[in-house]
Amino acid sequence: MADKRYFADRKSAVSVIIRVFLLLLLTFSVAFFLWSIMRYNEIMEDKEEREEYKGRLSDDIDRLEYLVDAPLDDAFKIRIAREKLGMCFPDEIIYHTELD
């Protein structure tokens, strides 16, 4: 009879250990799943930001290609002198406005 009690206690101890292990495994699995979802969302946001940046760069490339392909006529030279060098013709009247 002593043998039966020994095995009964042993069986319940093993059962408790298995239940605790399964509970820990379930807790870890849920935590890992939630962490994975959060990480996935971060990666998708980063991807969207990079795609927007890529679109802006593509627009810049198109604009610069247009400037490179533009003919070097007088109108082009005047535009570059105005935009890049801040130059103007001597007989021009320049108005400055302060905009907020």
User: What pLDDT score does 61 carry?
Assistant: 95
SS3 assignment, position 83: helix
Q: Rounded distance, CA 100 to CA 82, Å?
A: 23
* Strand (E) or helix (H) holding 60: helix 2-69
User: What pLDDT score does 32 carry?
Assistant: 98
User: What pLDDT score does 71 carry?
Assistant: 79
User: What pLDDT score does 99 carry?
Assistant: 75
> Residue with structure tokens 């042993």?
10
User: What pLDDT score does 100 carry?
Assistant: 59
Query: Cβ distance 57 to 63 under 8 Å?
Result: no
* Two structure tokens written together for 18: 């298995």
Give the rounded distance of the alpha carbon of 89 from its chain centre: 47
Q: Rounded distance, CA 92 to CA 86, Å?
A: 13
User: What pLDDT score does 4 carry?
Assistant: 61
User: What pLDDT score does 96 carry?
Assistant: 76
**pLDDT < 70 positions in the chain:** 1-11, 100
Query: Cβ distance 88 to 82 under 8 Å?
Result: yes
